[in-house]
A and B are shown apart, each in its own frame.
Chain A
Amino acid sequence: MNGESSMFVLIALTVITAATPLVFAAIGELVTERSGVLNLGVEGMMLTGAVFSFLCIHVTGNAFLSLLVGIFAGMVMALLFGFLTLTLQASQVATGLALTIFGTGVSALVGQSLIGVAYEGLPKIAIPVLSELPTVGPLLFQHDALVYLSWLLVPAVAIFLKRTRPGLVLRSVGDSHDAAHALGYRVVRVRYIATLFGGGCSGLAGAYLSMAYAPMWVENMSAGRGWIALALVVFAVWQPGWVLFGAYLFGGITILQLHGQGIGINVPSQLMSMLPYLTTIVVLVLISLDQGRVRRNAPAAIGQVFRPTT
């Protein structure tokens, strides 16, 4: 691959890999939050998903099964969170943070025997014919299965939330649990399902880390990506399409600053590394100028405990 356009493609490919775990974790958390639940334990769920999927691939060699195991591990963590916050009505913010401590510990414990174990990574799937196209082919049609899945998941979630009845129920539960309850919706059940979906997505994000992004297990390998995913949900003003934009923007700036260093831009690397965070703030400010959009999409009941009065 030579020339200007292929450099663009190369950069884009790196960005896509860097952004995909963020997309999964953020889209899952978005659904959770739209139901009115704030789960700050994304980092912990990602780590559990990462370690269990890697353990499974190590033992069985079956990639598909391993991804399912990663999803399942994230869901088990989310179930724990749901039981504490939805059934026992513990504080969501604090329980989420505790979930991260717990998940970090569990993953390290499970992963003790996996240090130094190698895995070649998920295979790339070239879509026939389309992958042969110049520029567009390598850019869009030569990825591992999870990248395609992330691209399908975002519009699917968008359609679900906007166009389907269960999506409408989920949003109404997130906007006012009392009103939703009065209408006969089962608030707690809806929130459980949304929380489990979020956990599954976080688990999948973790599986992407340990099976595709950097196929290995080392402790704390998510390195704060769960927190970035949480920020991206806010950044996206709880709209699925913007999660994709936010994740690619964040990933893009991160990779571009690496390229900037590579070509020798004379700015201290710590200051260069600030760019993704600063850009996110600046763009959020621009987005926030449209207050109508924020009001329409932010779940009003987020983080609030639902205490049925009857």
Chain B
Amino acid sequence: MSDVSLFTATRRSLLTLAAAAAITLPGIVSADDPLKVGFVYVGPVGDHGWTYRHDIGRQAIEAEFGDKVETTFVESVPEGADAERVIRRLASSGHGLIFTTSFGYMNPTVKVAKQFPDVKFEHATGYKRADNVSTYSARFYEGRAVIGTMAGMMTKTNTIGYIASFPIPEVVRGINAFSIAMRKVNPDAEIKVIWVNTWYDPGKEADAAKTLIDQGADIITQHTDSPAPLQVAEERGVLGFGQASDMSAFAPQAQLTSIIDDWDPYYIERTQAVLDGTWESVDTWRGIDSGMVGFPEYGPNVPDDVKAAAELVREGIVDGTLHPFDGPINNQMGEQIVAAGERLDDGVLLGMDYYVEGVQGSLPK
């Protein structure tokens, strides 16, 4: 996918006052000084989900490079007007590499990057790049294909409960990848989706899990942060999948496996590149093969044939023989939208806004 041209507003001003003085450039950093790496987080480090995993990645940088780096993070930065100031302050206080870890930071990141050409920026999950702005994201949908396969084989009620956060392409893509994989092994299985309109609210996530179980789901999966749905699954004697971390501590019996966000290798690699002076603007979208999407040990309730099937999907994705969005793919009406032998490209996946066959309900347009 080609870079999207940037629309940057040149603002009128009533007073032109020492524009040059207003922009302070970062101090010249000598070779011996540690590289300062900054992180901007959308949630608190203690969310046990998305932000928590990014912070594990930050700690990995510290462990890897010791006193060659210094890391800084700012938590719970709202995705409105505040983000630009925080990013800018990181840039102006001598940080050489800045990770902005939520989609809503895209425009502020790009804007600040223009003012600080010597600072390297890494924006997670966005699509706007510049000479000093890279984007990165993980192909979590590959993990969804693996767990979709497992769910399709293991469901007895043919109903999977899916707790979703917000109707953005990332989440819709995960639901579809899950459904396609599930339908391959079990054409009768269906997914019920409940949107909770929050990334984390343990109580509400638990309510949604109970609702789905009451409606007949015997496997729960989630695209929200907290272990609450898995806890409910454990209590109610159904099965489920973890999110972002290994959540087996919360559901030793119920967790079949989990999709782990592992940013450590990428963060280390990019930090190394800045240290070596080889950093370039790239668009990274990695999956299972690189380890960015990982899995813990299977839970005690996964039968051997399911393990084998899951491994097959995983290996197929890694060696490229299998793609979660290989045709034939049908839409919800049962009409074919991707023919056999074809494969959806990254551009379509990036903006995905429709459901495929096997998902109940409809997406707002």
When distances are taken between beta carbons in the complex, the residues of chain B under 8 Å from A112 are 46
Report which of B46, B203, B211 forms a contact with A214, defined as CB distance below 8 A.
B203
Known: A18-B207, A266-B361. A115 touches B46 (CB 8 A): yes
Residue among B203, B225, B227, B228 with most chain A CB within 10 A? B203
CB <8 Å contact, A218 and B249: no
Give B34 Cβ to nearest chain A Cβ, in Å.
Answer: 25
Known: A214-B231, A218-B202. A262 touches B211 (CB 8 A): yes
B66 within 8 A of A: no
When distances are taken between beta carbons in the complex, the residues of chain B under 8 Å from A217 are 46
CB <8 Å contact, B211 and A218: no
CB <8 Å contact, A262 and B226: no
When distances are taken between beta carbons in the complex, the residues of chain B under 8 Å from A259 are 211, 214-215
B280 within 8 A of A: no
CB <8 Å contact, A121 and B235: yes
When distances are taken between beta carbons in the complex, the residues of chain A under 8 Å from B203 are 18, 21, 209, 213-214, 221, 223, 225
A79 within 8 A of B: no
Give B7 Cβ to nearest chain A Cβ, in Å.
Answer: 27
Segment from B21-29, B99-107, B144-152, B188-196 that makes contact with A: B188-196
Q: Name A's interface SS.
A: helix
CB <8 Å contact, A213 and B202: yes
A254 within 8 A of B: yes
CB <8 Å contact, B249 and A118: yes
Nearest 10 CB-CB pairings of A with B: A214-B202, A269-B195, A268-B364, A223-B201, A219-B46, A219-B44, A214-B228, A264-B361, A10-B214, A258-B211
Contact with A along B187-224 (1 / 0, CB 8 A): 00000111111101111111110111011000000000
Roughly how many angstroms separate A13 CA and B43 CA in the complex, as a whole number? Answer: 31
- Please, which residue of chain B has its CB at the minimum distance from the CB of A263? B215
Roughly how many angstroms separate A216 CA and B46 CA in the complex, as a whole number? Answer: 11
B135 within 8 A of A: no
A89 within 8 A of B: no
Give chain A's interface residues, CB within 8 Å of chain B. Answer: 7, 10-11, 13-14, 17-18, 21, 108, 111-112, 115-118, 121, 209, 213-221, 223, 225, 254-255, 258-259, 261-266, 268-270, 273
CB <8 Å contact, B197 and A273: yes
Roughly how many angstroms separate A218 CA and B201 CA in the complex, as a whole number? Answer: 9
Known: A209-B203, A223-B204. A262 touches B362 (CB 8 A): no
Give A114 Cβ to nearest chain B Cβ, in Å.
Answer: 8
B250 within 8 A of A: yes
Given contacts A218-B46, A262-B194, 11 further A-B contacts (CB under 8 A): A11-B214, A14-B211, A17-B206, A214-B205, A216-B202, A216-B227, A218-B47, A259-B211, A261-B194, A262-B211, A268-B364
CB <8 Å contact, B48 and A116: yes
Contact with A along B311-333 (1 / 0, CB 8 A): 00000000000000000000000
Roughly how many angstroms separate A14 CA and B213 CA in the complex, as a whole number? Answer: 11
CB <8 Å contact, B211 and A219: no
Residue among B43, B198, B201, B225 with most chain A CB within 10 A? B201
CB <8 Å contact, B228 and A216: yes
CB <8 Å contact, A255 and B207: yes
Residue among A7, A18, A255, A258 with most chain B CB within 10 A? A258
When distances are taken between beta carbons in the complex, the residues of chain A under 8 Å from B169 are none
When distances are taken between beta carbons in the complex, the residues of chain B under 8 Å from A219 are 43-47
B52 within 8 A of A: yes
When distances are taken between beta carbons in the complex, the residues of chain B under 8 Å from A223 are 198, 200-204
Roughly how many angstroms separate A115 CA and B48 CA in the complex, as a whole number? Answer: 6
- Please, which residue of chain B has its CB at the minimum distance from the CB of A264? B361
Give A273 Cβ to nearest chain B Cβ, in Å.
Answer: 5
CB <8 Å contact, A116 and B249: yes
Report which of A17, A21, A214, A264 forms a contact with B226, defined as CB distance below 8 A.
A214
Roughly how many angstroms separate A220 CA and B47 CA in the complex, as a whole number? Answer: 8
When distances are taken between beta carbons in the complex, the residues of chain A under 8 Å from B361 are 261, 264-266
Give B138 Cβ to nearest chain A Cβ, in Å.
Answer: 21
When distances are taken between beta carbons in the complex, the residues of chain A under 8 Å from B193 are 261
When distances are taken between beta carbons in the complex, the residues of chain B under 8 Å from A220 are 44
B134 within 8 A of A: no
Give B10 Cβ to nearest chain A Cβ, in Å.
Answer: 35
Report which of B200, B202, B208, B360 forms a contact with A258, defined as CB distance below 8 A.
B208
When distances are taken between beta carbons in the complex, the residues of chain A under 8 Å from B250 are 118, 216
CB <8 Å contact, B215 and A218: no
B167 within 8 A of A: yes
Give A8 Cβ to nearest chain B Cβ, in Å.
Answer: 10
When distances are taken between beta carbons in the complex, the residues of chain B under 8 Å from A14 are 207, 210-211, 214
Give A130 Cβ to nearest chain B Cβ, in Å.
Answer: 22
What are 17 A-B residue pairs whose CB atoms fall within 8 Å in the complex?
A10-B214, A17-B207, A18-B203, A111-B46, A118-B250, A121-B231, A213-B202, A218-B46, A218-B48, A219-B44, A219-B45, A219-B46, A223-B200, A225-B203, A261-B195, A269-B197, A270-B197
CB <8 Å contact, B201 and A213: no
B245 within 8 A of A: yes
- Please, which residue of chain A has its CB at the minimum distance from the CB of B204? A223
Give B358 Cβ to nearest chain A Cβ, in Å.
Answer: 13
Give B364 Cβ to nearest chain A Cβ, in Å.
Answer: 4
When distances are taken between beta carbons in the complex, the residues of chain B under 8 Å from A121 are 231, 235
Contact with A along B225-239 (1 / 0, CB 8 A): 111100100010000
